[in-house]
Amino acid sequence: MKRKKVEDEVPSFKVSTHFLIPKHELLTKEEASQVLARFNASPSQFPYIQATDAIVKEIGARPGDFVRVTRQSETAGSSTYYRYVVEG
């Protein structure tokens, strides 16, 4: 019997609805270039998120894309982070 790879398995629930998962949004190419210009950085200077991550699969991101992560906090309010999608 052939076993499936763990990264090929699909969660039995929608990951984005879990209370511990912050909001993830796929950026357009235009938005990504604006982020790169704003931070005067290259994609490799941003934290990575693997294409095999469940939330990345759910939003349809592919290697080379950027993802905006918005976290809510009682103390900081709202924080925005950017992640660069890599193969994984």
Within a domain: 39: yes
Given a cut of 60, whether residue 16 has pLDDT beyond it is: yes
Within a domain: 5: no
Within a domain: 10: no
pTM higher than the cut 0.85: no
Give the structural domain span for 50: 20-86
**What's the pLDDT at 5?**
59
The string of DSSP letters for the chain reads -PPPPGGGPPPSS-GGGSTTSPEEEEPPHHHHHHHHHHHT--GGGSPEEETTSHHHHHHT--TT-EEEEEEEETTTEEEEEEEEEE--
pLDDT digits (tens, 9 = 90+) for 17-45: 888 899 999 999 999 999 999 999 999 99
Q: Are 23 and 57 in contact (CB under 8 A)?
A: no
Q: Which CATH number fits the domain that encloses residue 43? A: 3.90.940.20
How far apart CA 10 and CA 8 sit, in angstroms, is: 6
Q: Are 44 and 52 in contact (CB under 8 A)?
A: no
Within a domain: 3: no
How far apart CA 65 and CA 67 sit, in angstroms, is: 7
**What's the pLDDT at 17?**
84
Within a domain: 53: yes
Within a domain: 81: yes
Within a domain: 47: yes
Number of domain units in the chain: 1
Within a domain: 8: no
Find how far residue 77's CA is from the centre of its chain. Answer: 20
